[in-house]
Amino acid sequence: MSEKSILEKFNAKFPGKPRVFAAPGRVNLIGEHTDYNDGFVFPMALDRYTFVAIAATNDRKLTVFSVNMDETMKIDLDNNTEKRSHWSDYVSGMAFVLEEKGYRIPGADILLESDVPVGSGLSSSAALEMSSGLAFLGIMNQTMPKADLALLGQRAENKFVGMNCGIMDQFISMHGRKDHALFLDCRSLDYQLVPLPSDNVRIVICNTMVKHELGSSEYNKRRAECEKGVEIMSKDFPGIKALRDVSLDQFESVESQLPDVVRRRCRHVISEDDRTLASIEALQSNDLVCFGKLMNASHDSLRDDYQVSCKELDTMVDIARTIPGVLGARMTGGGFGGCTVNLVNAMQVENFCMTISSRYFQVTGLEPKIYVSVPSDGGHEIGV
Ligand code: ADP
Ligand code: MG
C-alpha cells in the first residue's frame, strides 16, 4: 500500500488536504501471556501497517471511512462516551482517552486502510489505535512520548472497547525498529531493541485462517487464574504482586498447594518468563538453534499448561517442525486460532512456504496465508 493510493482514496471521499500516519501490526517471537503478569515479551513490528489519512474539521464530528470494512462511521465528539461494539470503537476509544487527558479534538475527516490482517492475532487493533492516536495528536499539533501513547491505547482497548489486553501490542507498534525485535519488561516498561539477524534466517508467519470465539472469555479466565495463583502463593512469599515475582524454584516448592488448573497456568507463565530471558541471551550469542528450541518449548507449554492453542495451531506447528530448515515454530498472540511464527533458514524459506501451505490444506481443507516478515519501524507520520 502506498501513500499515493491513500491520498487518492481520501481525496475521492473528502475535501481538504490530509496528513498521513501509519502504525504497524506485530508478531510476538516469544513471551506469550506474560505481559499482563508483569513479565517479559519479545515482539517485533511487522512490515504491515494501518494507514490513517486525516484532515481537521471544526465541527466536533469524526467522519471515519475504513477501506477494509468499506463503511463510513460518524462519531459526535460531544457525545462520545460509550462503545457501539463496532470497528469504529478503536478510533472513538482513542479520541475518548485523549479527551479524558484534556486534549480537545476539533473534528476530522478520516480515511483508514490496513494491510495488517484483521483479527488474525497480529494486532490490527493496536495498529489502528496507534495510527489514529498519532493522527489526532498530529491535527492538534501535539506530540507525546511513545510509551504514553501506547498506554493510552491500552486504556482505550481496556476501558472503551472492553478487551483486557496487556501493554505489549501498543508498545511494539510505537517502538518497533527496522531490523530489531524489542525486549520489553512489562512492569517497568524498560526496553531494549535487539538486532535480529537477517542474512541467514527469516521470520515466517502462518495464518491458520481460523478464529475460535472462545478467545476473549478464555483470556479473561486465564487472567483470573493467574491472579488466583499469586493470591495463594503470597501466603508463602509475602510481597509478590504478580507471577513475574515468583522464580521457578519458588514455584516448585509450593506448587502442590495449588489447584491443578491454577498450577498449570502458573507454570506456563513462570517458565515462559525464563524462556524469554534465555531467548535474548541466545540471540545475543548468535545461537539461533537455541532460540528455536525455546520457541518450540513455548508452544508446548501454551498447548499443554496454558491450554490456549487449538487443533489448527497445533497442526500448523506440527507440520512446520517436520520441514527442513525450521529452527522453531510456535503459536503467537492470544491463541484459539490466528497465526504461528516460525524461525526458518533463509535458504529454505521458499520450500517451507510451499510445503506448509500444501500440507496444512491437505489436513484441514483450509488455505493458509503465509507472510515472510522483516522487523520494521513503529508508528510515524508518512512523508515528513
Ligand atoms: P487483532 O488485533 O489480532 O487483529 P482484534 O480482534 O484485537 O484482532 O482486533 C480486530 C478488530 O479491530 C476488528 O474486528 C475491527 O473491529 C478493528 N480493526 C482493525 N483493523 C481495522 C481496519 N483496517 N478497519 C476497521 N476496523 C479495523
Ligand atoms: Mg488485538
CATH of the domain at 55: 3.30.230.10
pTM comes to 0.96
> Does 201 fall in a domain?
no
Gyration radius (Cα) of the chain, Å = 21
> Does 223 fall in a domain?
no
**For ligand 1, mutation pick of 69, 85, 123, 128 (most atoms within 8 Å of CB):** 128
Number of separate domains in the chain: 1
Residue 168 C-alpha cell reads as 505489549
Please report which ligand is nearest the Cα atom of 22. Answer: 1
Range of the domain at 119: 3-195
Catalytic residues: 169
> Does 60 fall in a domain?
yes
Q: Which residues contact 111 (CB under 8 A, 6 or more apart)?
A: 6, 9, 10, 13, 14, 18, 52, 53, 64, 65, 67
**For ligand 1, mutation pick of 124, 158, 210 (most atoms within 8 Å of CB):** 124
> Does 238 fall in a domain?
no
CA triplet 307, 125, 105: central angle to 5 degrees? 145
pLDDT tens for the chain, 384 residues long, are 777 899 999 999 999 999 999 999 999 999 999 999 999 999 999 999 999 999 999 999 999 999 999 999 999 999 999 999 999 999 999 999 999 999 999 999 999 999 999 999 999 999 999 999 999 999 999 999 999 999 999 999 999 998 888 999 999 999 999 999 999 999 999 999 999 988 899 999 999 999 988 767 898 899 999 999 999 999 999 999 999 999 999 999 999 999 999 999 999 999 999 999 999 999 999 999 999 999 999 999 999 999 999 999 999 999 999 999 999 999 999 999 999 999 999 999 999 999 999 999 999 999 999 999 999 999 999 986
For residues 52 and 99, the answer to whether their CB atoms sit within 8 Å is no
Asked whether 219 lines ligand 1 (CB < 6 A), one says no
> Does 113 fall in a domain?
yes
Nearest CA to ligand 1 atom 6: 119
Asked whether 50 lines ligand 1 (CB < 6 A), one says yes
> Does 85 fall in a domain?
yes
> Does 321 fall in a domain?
no
> Does 167 fall in a domain?
yes
- Output the CA 333–ligand 2 centroid distance in Å: 9
